Structure 1
Amino acid sequence: MLSNEMMKHLKIKNPIIQAPMAGGITTSNLVAEVSNSGGLGMIGAGYQTPIQSREQIREIKQLTSNPFGINLFVPNEFNVTPDAVQSANQLLHTIRKRLNLDPTDSFDIPEYKTIFESFIEQVKVVIEENVSICSFTFGIPPQEVMDELKHHNITLIGTATTVREAVENEKAGMDMVVIQGSEAGGHRGNFINGHQESLVGLMSLIPQVVDNVSIPVIAAGGIMDGRGLMASLCLGAQGIQMGTAFLTCIESGAHKVHKEAILNADEDQTTFTRAFSGKWARGIKNKFIEDMLEHELAVPDFPVQNLLTQVIRKTCSGQNNQDFMSLWSGQSPRLAKSETVEILIKNILAEAENINKQSFSPK
């Protein structure tokens, strides 16, 4: 279709990257199929242990000889007191009771030091397993981490929600940057600006970022088809990253209730919430979001709230009960389809090629 700096650097045939959705969605089959179809498959390792990441990397290598990457969450310091956890537990008490869960269920508050040490172990796994591409969400790793990865010739991709964040990614040494528009599903990748300040629409964000950085820009947020690909390229992006479009694919590990919720949703049914995890994320409205609406600003920061709601989400998944599940989705659910990765990518490229012919061929 075309060739640009990003595609040459990543060694991919098509300018399509599968978003690294954490929590079991990015199965080995999904990642491998994207890479086998000429795109870039990405492991969402945000919630994995280093051992789990190593196992999945090795599994994917058995399924594809093409490049694939891995995404890591950059740990952020947090301050959560036992009183805050107790207050949050009280808010969740009624829901736990309704699901026949132990309302007194408790856990040790994680320490930032422990989380950061696990992150460093993840980085070691990426190096030892010779993964050629590593992306980051929720911030920029320390310089020594960046230097170590670059020493091993690993391509580094940052995430930004504003021009300022994109510029900081380039200054830190990222080889390219994913810019996340406000339409994107799942957790926001902002790390400098606040939640409200980071809500810039993708079509406004692309040209402004392109004008202010020299590294390749990858567009993300609400893109589902060839039209979104062509619009992004015309505005200066060199590729796109899609989450929701791949989430509903056959190979995705998303729960069937999650997939069905997206496939049956309208564009006005997504909203932002921090009630599930303590970090702002876009998903389909459900009873949990509605019940927690007036309390969500008071819940503990990520990752503590995420741990507090974990058993609720897991129990509801087992019961096929979407009322209390985190149904992450971008703003274009009407465009979602249940199909294989191969068909999705073929259709995107065919539509983009058709648009290209109609728009730029001589009359």
Structure 2
Amino acid sequence: MPIIQGPFGGGLSSVDLVVAVGEAGGLGSFGVHHLTGAQIKDTAAAIRTRTSRPFALNLWIPFQDSEDPVISAEAYAQNAERLAPFYQELGIAPPPRPERYMPRYQEQVEALLEARPAAFSFVYGVPAPDILDRCKELDIVTIGTATTPDEARLLDEAGVDMIVATGFEAGGHRVSFLRAAEDSLTGTLALVPQVVDAVKAPVIAAGGIADGRGIAAALALGAQAVQIGTAFLACRESATSELHRDMLFSPEAKYTTLTRVFSGRLARFIRNRFVDEMRVHEAELPGYPVHSWFTGPIKNAATVQNRPELLSLYGGQSASLLRHRDARSLVASLVDETGRAIGSAW
């Protein structure tokens, strides 16, 4: 069964999850966009000490000014002041201004190519032609992500091997790169067949898929594989907190929303107090990764202090379908449910 574990950024991916998914027959993925080149190589090595199964590493392509964002001292202070009530409530200080907000992309790419995973998946655009050429030389499968048919065509024309068509039901960031994310909100059911018709590359469906019925539907729409995020994030092998996992299984997980208040980019979270109180400031916030730097200490403190109302609770619209808390049983269930769903459809 062609099941890919969605890569999680910001430290939510784990070696344990990649290994468990791979050993269960899926493709495990590790989001490395927050890691330095040395850390990327160490992560790949750690995975290989545990499994011989193929795996994917995922990077964010620099988008807008994320590679080297510019923010004035005055604007930095204003954003710290905007978040001051939350810092005070949690008993923490705002973060000092860093020399860099993120590792250098070129360093990350070089490390990824040296690590030579089975697959290089990426979001927020198309890698440079020389990077795609080097992937082909190294037999690294490239997997790009599209939120619209136009984005999918661009990936296909560039020679990307596989294309993820991600509907707006998905948890986490909306990775649109041709038009604003708010103008690229097509649901999975409508998006997948449009992308299938638009490209030659195999299509991977993502967004709102958490059980065999969703997989069967995606295959019926022409997808050749599925990528599942929220259901794997909820597994104990992921690197998210127990608090976050528990919230994904809670009644509150039915209520998700798209917002920029945690990272500066549009993403889907379980709605909570932080979202509600910060929405009034959404248009004023600095972009990613600057705003994410400001909210990092809030997320960490909220986890330690068991404060879900202030935590960035990434989650897709499929959360109410979650049933499994470990990756092996999840994959086994997905395979079984898909077979039964396909059988009953005929």
Task: Report the TM-score, using the length of structure 1 for normalisation.
Answer: 0.90
SS in 2 for 1:218: strand
* CA distance, structure 1, for counterparts of residue 11 and residue 99 of structure 2: 23
1:239-318 to structure 2, matched below 5 A, reads: 239-266=225-252, 268-318=254-304
1:266/1:333 contact within 8 Å kept = no
1:250/1:338 contact within 8 Å kept = no
* CA distance, structure 2, for counterparts of residue 126 and residue 195 of structure 1: 27
Is 1:185 the counterpart of 2:148? The answer is no
Task: Measure how far apart 1:216 and its partner are.
Answer: 0.4
- Summarize the Cα distance change of 1:71–1:146 in structure 2 as closer, same or farther, 3 Å threshold: same
Which residue does 1:228 correspond to in 2?
Answer: 214
1:39 to 11, 26, 50: 26
Which residue does 1:96 correspond to in 2?
Answer: 87
* CA distance, structure 2, for counterparts of residue 110 and residue 123 of structure 1: 18
Which residue does 2:98 correspond to in 1?
Answer: 108
What amino acid maps onto 2:310 in structure 1? F
Task: Measure how far apart 1:148 and its partner are.
Answer: 2.2
SS in 2 for 1:294: helix
* CA distance, structure 2, for counterparts of residue 275 and residue 156 of structure 1: 31
* CA distance, structure 2, for counterparts of residue 169 and residue 65 of structure 1: 29
* CA distance, structure 2, for counterparts of residue 73 and residue 18 of structure 1: 17
Which residue does 2:39 correspond to in 1?
Answer: 52
Which residue does 2:128 correspond to in 1?
Answer: 142
* CA distance, structure 1, for counterparts of residue 159 and residue 75 of structure 2: 37
Structure 2 unaligned residues grouped into runs of 5+ = none
Which residue does 1:5 correspond to in 2?
Answer: none
Is 1:20 the counterpart of 2:11? The answer is no
Task: Measure how far apart 1:257 and its partner are.
Answer: 0.8
1:32/1:60 contact within 8 Å kept = yes
> For 1:239-283, what per-residue CA distance to the aligned partner results, in whole angstroms no more than 9, with x for missing partners?
100000001112111111111111003564100111111100000
Task: Measure how far apart 1:337 and its partner are.
Answer: 2.6
Equivalent pairs, count:
342
SS in 1 for 2:91: coil
Which residue does 1:352 correspond to in 2?
Answer: 338
Q: Which moves more between the two structures, 343-352 or 225-234?
A: 343-352
Which residue does 2:312 correspond to in 1?
Answer: 326
Is 1:337 the counterpart of 2:299? The answer is no
What amino acid maps onto 1:227 in structure 2? R
Task: Report the TM-score, using the length of structure 2 for normalisation.
Answer: 0.95
* CA distance, structure 1, for counterparts of residue 23 and residue 244 of structure 2: 25
What amino acid maps onto 2:185 in structure 1? L
> For 1:175-212, what per-residue CA distance to the aligned partner results, in whole angstroms no more than 9, with x for missing partners?
01111101000011101111222110000001111111
* CA distance, structure 2, for counterparts of residue 94 and residue 125 of structure 1: 40
SS in 2 for 1:101: coil
2:55 to 38, 55, 68: 68
1:21/1:44 contact within 8 Å kept = yes
Q: Which moves more between the two structures, 87-96 or 265-274?
A: 265-274
Structure 1 unaligned residues grouped into runs of 5+ = 1-13
Task: Measure how far apart 1:358 and its partner are.
Answer: 2.2
* CA distance, structure 2, for counterparts of residue 232 and residue 252 of structure 1: 25
1:199-238 to structure 2, matched below 5 A, reads: 199-238=185-224
Alpha-carbon RMSD across the aligned residues, in angstroms, is 1.6
Q: Percent identity?
A: 38
Task: Measure how far apart 1:313 and its partner are.
Answer: 1.0
1:80/1:300 contact within 8 Å kept = no
1:266/1:334 contact within 8 Å kept = no
2:253/2:315 contact within 8 Å kept = no
